[in-house]
A and B are shown apart, each in its own frame.
Chain A
Amino acid sequence: MATMFSIEWRGFVEFGLLLLYVLLGGFTVVFFFKKSRQAKGRLRVMESELASLKQEVANSRMLEAEFRRKQVEDRAFFYDNPYPMWVFEEQGFKFMAVNDAALHHYGYSREEFLEMTILDIGPPEESPTTLDFRQWLQDETVATRVCRQHKKDGTLMDVKMTAHKLNFQGNPAWLILALDVTAEYRARQALLRQKERFQLLSESAADLLFALEPPAVIEKICLKITAHTQSDLFLNFLSQDGENKVMLHSWAGLPEELARRLTQHPLPIDELLCHAAVCQCQPLIIEDMQSYPDPKAESLRNLGIRAYICLPLHPNGRLLGTLAFGSRTQKAFGEDELELFSSLSRYLAIALDRWHLLKEAREQSAQLQTAQEQLQRYTGELEVRVAERTAKLAQSLRSLEGVLYHVAHDLRAPLRALHGFTELLIRNCSPLPTEATADYARRLTEASKRMDRLIHDLLLYGRLGHQQLVLDSIDLGNILNDVLHEWRATIQAKKAIIQVSQPLPRVTGDGQVIRQVLYNLLSNALKFVARPPAIRVWAEAGYPTRLYMEDNGIGIAAEHQNKIFGIFERLHSEEEFPGTGIGLAIVKKGMERMGGNVKVESEVGRGSRFCLEFNSAY
C-alpha cells in the first residue's frame, strides 16, 4: 500500500535522478572534451562508462515502467474495487479518497464526497456522535461495525464497515471497506420474526388449551398478538348460551363508551359486520376499511382502521364467537399475519369448544348430583315417614288394644249383671210356671255366658298380637302338668285318659303363651270327642323341637284343616259343641309369635294329631 503512495513521489525522484545523471554525464563529456588531447586513451574508458550509464538509464526506465504498472494495478485495486472504499482522516472524519464503487453505490460525485465527512452518510435519525465513532475506531486496529447509512436519494441500507488505520498524505487516516449487508440483514430479521411468530403461536396454543377457562386468557394472548403484528385493535365476541347473539368479551383499542355499550348489550349475529362471513364459516378480510362501503363498518372506519380481519370461531359448525384484528397503520395485513390470525382463531375455537363441552358435562354432573342428593333426601324423608307411620300404627294398635281392653272390661260388667240377675230372677220365680219359661231362662244365662267367653278369647287373641313376649327356657312337662291340673274337673267328669311321654323337653318361649296354647289344645281334645277322650302327648327334641297331642276325637276333614286356625271359624254349631271359634286361632298366633308353628294331621272319625313346632333359634 505504501508503495502506491510513493509512486508519484518516486516518479519525481527518478526524474530528478535521471536529470542528475544526464547533467553529470554532460559535465563529464565537457570535461573530457577539454582534456581530449591529453587523454585519448581515456576515451575508450569514457565510452565504456557511457555505455554503462546508458544501461543504467535503461534499467531505471524499466523500473519506472514497473512502478507505473504497479501504480496502475494498485490504482485498480482501490479505485476499481467492486466494494465501496474510502479513506477519511482521523481528525475531522473528512473523506480524502473515494473509489468508484462508493460513488456508484451512494450516488454522490467524487467532488461531493470529498466535501463530506463520514457522519454525513449515516441515517438521518440515527447520527452516530463523534465521540461514539472515535471510540469505535480506538478499540482495535482493524474494526468492524454495522450501521445504518443512506444514499443520496435517501434509501436506507445496512452497511458493514471494516476499517484499517494508515497514514495518508502525512495524516493519520482510516481506510474503510463498506459492505452492503442490507439483504442479509433483512433476511435475518425475517427469520427472527418467523421464530417470534412461531413462539407466540405455540405459547398461545398452550395457554388456550391448558386454561380451565379459556375466556380468561384471551385478552392476554390477543394483546401479545396485537403487539407482534403491529395492530391497533382487537375484538373478541363470545356467543350467549342458547341465543343467536354475541357479546363483547375482551378488546383493545376501543374508546371507552363504545366498549361499555358493547359489553353490556348482546348483539344479534345479523347485526355484525362479519355476518355474511360467519354464515359461510369464512373469515372476512378487508383491505383499507376506509373505502369499504358497508354501513355496519362505520364505527370501525371512524376509528381510522384500515387493515381488518374478522374470524368466526365455529368448531363443529357451532358459532361460539368471533375474533377480529384491525390496524390503522397498515392498509392490508400481510400473508404471514393473516396466517397467524387464522391459526390463533383455530386454537381459540377448539379451546372454547372444549370448555363448553366441559361446562355442559359439569352441569349434567351437577344435575345428577343434585338429583342424587334429592333422592337421598327423599329416601331419608321416606324412611322417617315410614318410621313415623309405623310408630303411629303401633300406637294406634296399642290404643286399639287399650280400646279393646276397656271395651271388653266395660262390656263384661253389664254382662255380669245380665247373667247374675237373670239367675236371681230364675231362683226367685222357681219353680218356673212352664217348660218354655224354663227354657227361655236357660237360654238367657247360656247366651250371656257365651258372650263372656267370647270377650275373654277376643281379649286374649288381641293381646297375643302385640304383647311383649317374655322369653325363657320353659319345661314343657311343668306347663302341661299345670294345664292338666286346671282341667282336672273336666278330665275326671269325662273319664279322659291322658298319656304323656315323659320327660318332655325344654324349649325357649313365653311361658304364659305356651300355657294358653296347651290349654286350648287340651280343651279341644276334651271337647270334640264322641266317647271318653284318650289323649296322647309326646315330643321330639331337636331343631325344631316338636310336641304332639293326639286325640281320639271326631277329626277334621281335609278341606277344613286350614280354616280351623282362622279366627271365628267354626265347623260346628254352638249346640253341637260350644266354643268361640278363637281357640285354635290363639294357638296359631301364639306359636307364630314365638317363631314356631302349628300343624294338624286328621281324618274324620279317626281323631286329630296336632303338632307344635318350637323355634330353636329363639
Chain B
Amino acid sequence: MNDAHRPVILYVENDANDVILLRITFEKIDFPAQIIPVPDGEKAQAYLDGLGAFEDRHQYPRPDLVLMDLKMPRVSGFEVTRWIRAHPALDALPIVILTSSEHPEDRAAALAAGANGFCIKPVGLDELEGLVREISQQWLHLVPHG
C-alpha cells in the first residue's frame, strides 16, 4: 500500500501506438497517474470485476478514471460504458471517451450511454498534451506542477 495514492487510469484501447503516445505524454507532463492499458472491452470488464488474472488488486488496482476508445473488436466502447453504468459498484466511476470519431451522433450516443466526457484523439504531441492536462484537471483534480 502506498501512502500517496497514485491515481489509476484504466485505458481501454486496442491500438498499441495510441497507448504508448498517451503514456509518454503523461510522463512528459510529469503527472503521477498510473496508466493501466487493457486491449479490449472484455478484458476491461474482467479487470473491473477483478476476475481471472486481474484478481490481484495489488497489481491491478481499481481505477479512478476510465479512458475508453469506441471502436474496438467484439465489445465496443458503448457496450462497456453501458455495462459499467449498470454495474452497482461502479456507477461513480468517471468514463471519458477518447476516440478519433468526429461523428456528432457518436458523441450523443456515448453521453447517452453514460460517459462523462467525450474527447477526440488529436494528431500531434502538443495537442495531445493539452488534452491530457485538461482531462487530468477535470477528472483527477490533478494540478500540474509548474
Contacts and interface: CB of A to CB of B under 8 A. Distances in A.
Interface in A413-455: 413-417, 419-421, 423-424, 445, 448-449, 452
A455 B7 CA distance: 35
B18 interface: yes
A512 interface: yes
Which secondary structure dominates chain B's binding surface? loop
Interface in A386-411: 405-406, 409
A415 B17 CA distance: 10
Given A412-B100, A456-B102, A459-B102, A420 B125 contact: yes
Contact of A423 (B17, B103, B121, B124): B124
A419 B122 CA distance: 10
Interface in B52-78: 71
Given A409-B100, A512-B104, A421 B17 contact: yes
A22 B121 CA distance: 189
Given A409-B71, A421-B17, A424-B24, A416 B104 contact: no
A495 B100 CA distance: 32
Contact of A419 (B24, B102, B104, B123): B123
Interface in B97-134: 100-104, 121-125, 128
A77 to B, nearest CB: 139
Contacts of A449: 123-124
Contacts of A456: 102
A413 B18 contact: yes
A575 to B, nearest CB: 20
A360 B124 CA distance: 85
Contacts of B125: 419-420, 423-424
B21 interface: yes
A454 to B, nearest CB: 11
Contacts of B18: 413, 416-417
A299 B101 CA distance: 101
A402 to B, nearest CB: 11
A452 B102 CA distance: 12
Given A421-B17, A456-B102, A412 B123 contact: yes
Nearest to B122: A416
A416 B71 contact: no
B30 interface: no
A420 B21 contact: yes
A336 B102 CA distance: 107
B91 interface: no
A297 B20 CA distance: 117
A416 B15 CA distance: 11
Contacts of A448: 123
Contacts of A412: 100, 121, 123
Contacts of B101: 405, 409
Contacts of B124: 419-420, 423, 445, 449
B100 A416 contact: yes
A417 B121 CA distance: 11
A408 to B, nearest CB: 8
Q: Which of B100, B121, B124, B128 has the most CB of A within 10 A?
A: B100
Given A419-B123, A420-B125, A405 B103 contact: yes
A557 B123 CA distance: 35
Given A421-B17, A424-B24, A416 B103 contact: no
Interface string B1-43: 0000000000000010110010010000000000000000000
A604 B95 CA distance: 52
A449 B121 CA distance: 13
Contacts of B122: 416
Contact of B123 (A406, A409, A416, A459): A416
Given A412-B123, A448-B123, A449-B124, A417 B100 contact: no
A93 B17 CA distance: 153
Contact of A452 (B24, B71, B123): B123
Contacts of A460: 102
Contacts of A415: 123
Nearest to A460: B102
A435 B113 CA distance: 51
A529 B14 CA distance: 43
B17 A417 contact: yes
A415 B123 CA distance: 7
B128 A420 contact: yes
A141 B57 CA distance: 155
B52 to A, nearest CB: 28
Given A423-B125, A424-B125, A449-B123, A416 B17 contact: yes
A406 to B, nearest CB: 8
Contacts of A424: 21, 24, 125
Contacts of B24: 424
A448 B102 CA distance: 18
A299 B15 CA distance: 107
A414 B21 CA distance: 12
Nearest to B21: A420
A467 B76 CA distance: 24
A463 B124 CA distance: 25
Interface in A521-573: none
B28 to A, nearest CB: 9
A111 to B, nearest CB: 142
B21 A416 contact: yes
A392 B101 CA distance: 26
Nearest to A459: B102
8 contacts: A405-B101, A409-B71, A413-B100, A416-B122, A417-B17, A419-B124, A420-B21, A452-B123
Given A416-B18, A459-B102, 10 more contacts: A412-B100, A412-B121, A412-B123, A413-B18, A413-B100, A420-B123, A420-B128, A423-B124, A424-B125, A456-B102
Give 6 closest A-B pairs by Cβ, nearest first.
A417-B17, A452-B123, A420-B21, A412-B100, A423-B125, A419-B123
